[in-house]
Amino acid sequence: MTASPYAALETRFARLGAIGEALGVLHWDAATNMPDGGAQSRGEQLATLKVIVHEGLTDPALTDLLAGAEGQNDLDPWQRANIAEMRRTVAHATAVPADLVAARSRACSEGEMVWRKARAASDFAAMLPALRTILGLTREVASAKAAAFGMTPYDALLDGYEPGGGTATIDRLFGELASVLPGMIDAALARQEKRGAPLPPAGPFAIAAQRALGLEMMKRLGFDFAHGRLDISAHPFTGGTAQDVRITTRYDEADFRQALMGVLHETGHALYELGLPGAWARQPVGEARGMSLHESQSLLIEMQVCRGREFMNFAAPLIRDAFGGGGPAWETENLYRLGTRVARSFIRVDADELTYPAHVMLRYRLERALIAGDLDLVDLPREWNRGMRELIGVVPPDDARGCLQDIHWYDGAFGYFPTYTLGAMSAAQLFQAAKAADPAILSGIAAGDFTPLLAWLRANVHGKASSRSTDQIMIEATGRALETAPYLAHLRARYLED
């Protein structure tokens, strides 16, 4: 008996999915364990595997198999959605020639190694040649996809991270935010000023104690250590595979809150991966939906839940125990105030919830200009600093705290940044709906029981994987497509009314 076209496609994509998982482990290892001298050969390994995936996705035999599978009348909705995701993946792959895939992969691997040193030395000039190569190859990819999809080059890149997303929607939503947020920041800072600053707990905070606290919080939130790990990397991320989720953080002995909030953030990402349906592992429909929903899960945990009063009521005693802390700086209210402190600052990943969107809008503006060819890389540091002054009101003293701070562009990720703020908005909208759907969620959080919350997320987001569009998932979960109102209401309540 010959396999049906659909069954043949599942077999082919299972193989590509396994290679994708191998890439996930190799990327994680490069960021956590790999010595510098391994970079060149790791670059070869990654490029080779990416080319093999690319060849698999551009195999002409797929055309007939996809058409045949679409003509099958014995498929269920998930299988149909799987075919649609296969088509999407194939479209992205066929738009780009294999040698360009390989060249870009190698350039990005090399770029990441150069970036580590350039950022440490705050030396943008040292970064420039590698970045020029990466941007050039990325613009080639963007043009090729733009021609194939009939959209702008930037939209074509964005579609790779956020399927169905587009600058038209982003511009509208970001425009609504931009008209309100600057005033909210001013007002929040004025309120804060009157109230006086919260007290910083005195360190140093031993890394072993910080790690133990992070692991305890992960466990409480539902992270399954039979299927994942916590490690260290320069730039925290969630990697590995859905059955083996590797999250990372970095520790600062002077400030335990950076690592802790980072762990909580990545745990949100990890819970999404761990909640994907195992029956669809290594199939396109079984993957997380897109980057805005992925970021919504990390920010729902970090911002909506863990910076809220309910969570702090539960967490403050654990935090005090972890470091043997006592006195006014360790009181629950003070820790809550520290977690919701607003400040105009240089570093995106350390930014507070209210000023964070401005960091994203700056990057969104700059990367669109870079991809469009309207901004030359030589001018990037200057334009970065100009944008910082305009949007946030501070200017970084060096490029390490300026345009070199994020790994994204140096690793080839252009079109990714707007998903952070789309994710923040989605998180607010989802958490609002979750609380309305089950009152046990909020009381559970206050008691350190995250089971009701996780159950709602599994049913409404994680378990749906890529069986529906982002819009559909949002509508089914919250009754509406993504909008700014729940996000702004959340920010108003926390920063202007609490």
Catalytic residues: 266
Closer to its own copies by CB, 44 or 123: give it.
44
DSSP 463: G
Residue 63 Cβ, how far from its own copies at the closest point, in Å?
22
Closer to its own copies by CB, 286 or 452: give it.
286
Q: Which of 37, 150, 196, 324 binds its own copies (CB under 8 A)?
A: 37
Binding to its own copies by residue 243, rule CB under 8 A?
yes
Q: Which of 4, 7, 8, 26 binds its own copies (CB under 8 A)?
A: 26
Q: Which residues inside 189-228 make contact with its own copies, applying CB under 8 A? A: 224-228
Sign, CA dihedral 211-213-218-222, equals positive
Q: Which residues pair with 10 in a beta bridge?
A: none
Closer to its own copies by CB, 168 or 208: give it.
208
Determine the residue type at 71: G
Q: Which of 98, 100, 189, 281 binds its own copies (CB under 8 A)?
A: 281
Q: Please choose, from the candidates 493, 492, 193, the residue with its C-alpha nearest in 3D space to the C-alpha of residue 341.
A: 193
Residue 204 Cβ, how far from its own copies at the closest point, in Å?
19
Closer to its own copies by CB, 266 or 295: give it.
266
Determine the residue type at 341: R
Binding to its own copies by residue 19, rule CB under 8 A?
yes
Q: Which of 21, 252, 310, 383 binds its own copies (CB under 8 A)?
A: 21
Closer to its own copies by CB, 200 or 225: give it.
225
Closer to its own copies by CB, 19 or 126: give it.
19
Closer to its own copies by CB, 224 or 390: give it.
224
Binding to its own copies by residue 103, rule CB under 8 A?
no
- Region near its own copies per CB under 8 A, out of 41-49, 145-153, 158-166, 289-297: 41-49
The answer to whether the peptide bond before residue 5 is cis (omega within 30 degrees of 0) is: no
SS (H, E, C) 90-108: HHHHHCCCHHHHHHHHHHH
Cβ neighbors of 478 (< 8 A, separation 6 or more) are 429, 430, 432, 433, 486
Q: Which of 4, 12, 45, 100 binds its own copies (CB under 8 A)?
A: 45
- CA-to-CA distance for 205 and 167, rounded, in angstroms? 43
Cβ neighbors of 112 (< 8 A, separation 6 or more) are 30, 407, 410, 411
Binding to its own copies by residue 38, rule CB under 8 A?
yes
Binding to its own copies by residue 25, rule CB under 8 A?
yes
Q: Which residues inside 308-327 make contact with its own copies, applying CB under 8 A? A: none
- Region near its own copies per CB under 8 A, out of 28-36, 353-361, 366-374, 411-419: 28-36
- CA-to-CA distance for 340 and 354, rounded, in angstroms? 9
Binding to its own copies by residue 11, rule CB under 8 A?
no
Q: Please choose, from the candidates 330, 350, 346, 331, the residue with its C-alpha nearest in 3D space to the C-alpha of residue 259.
A: 350
- CA-to-CA distance for 490 and 208, rounded, in angstroms? 35
Binding to its own copies by residue 18, rule CB under 8 A?
yes
Binding to its own copies by residue 100, rule CB under 8 A?
no
Q: Which residues inside 291-310 make contact with its own copies, applying CB under 8 A? A: none
Asked whether 205 and 256 are in contact (CB, 8 A), the reply is: yes
Cα 213 from chain centroid (whole Å): 23
- CA-to-CA distance for 178 and 358, rounded, in angstroms? 8
Binding to its own copies by residue 440, rule CB under 8 A?
no
In the chain, % helix, strand, coil (3-state, to 5) comes to: 70, 5, 25
DSSP per position, 282-321: TSGGGS---HHHHHHHHHIIIIIITTSHHHHHHHHHHHHH
Q: Which of 7, 8, 52, 440 binds its own copies (CB under 8 A)?
A: 52
Residue 115 Cβ, how far from its own copies at the closest point, in Å?
18
Binding to its own copies by residue 7, rule CB under 8 A?
no
Closer to its own copies by CB, 146 or 242: give it.
242
Q: Which of 240, 357, 444, 452 binds its own copies (CB under 8 A)?
A: 240
Q: Which of 33, 63, 443, 451 binds its own copies (CB under 8 A)?
A: 33
Residue 44 Cβ, how far from its own copies at the closest point, in Å?
5
Closer to its own copies by CB, 49 or 121: give it.
49
Cα 258 from chain centroid (whole Å): 17
Q: Please choose, from the candidates 487, 467, 471, the residue with its C-alpha nearest in 3D space to the C-alpha of residue 479.
A: 471
- Strand pairing class (244-249; 228-232): parallel
Tell me the two tokens of residue 282: 């290594």
* Residues lying near its own copies in the complex (CB under 8 A): 14-15, 18-19, 21-22, 25-26, 29, 33-38, 40-42, 44-45, 47-49, 51-52, 224-229, 240-244, 281-282
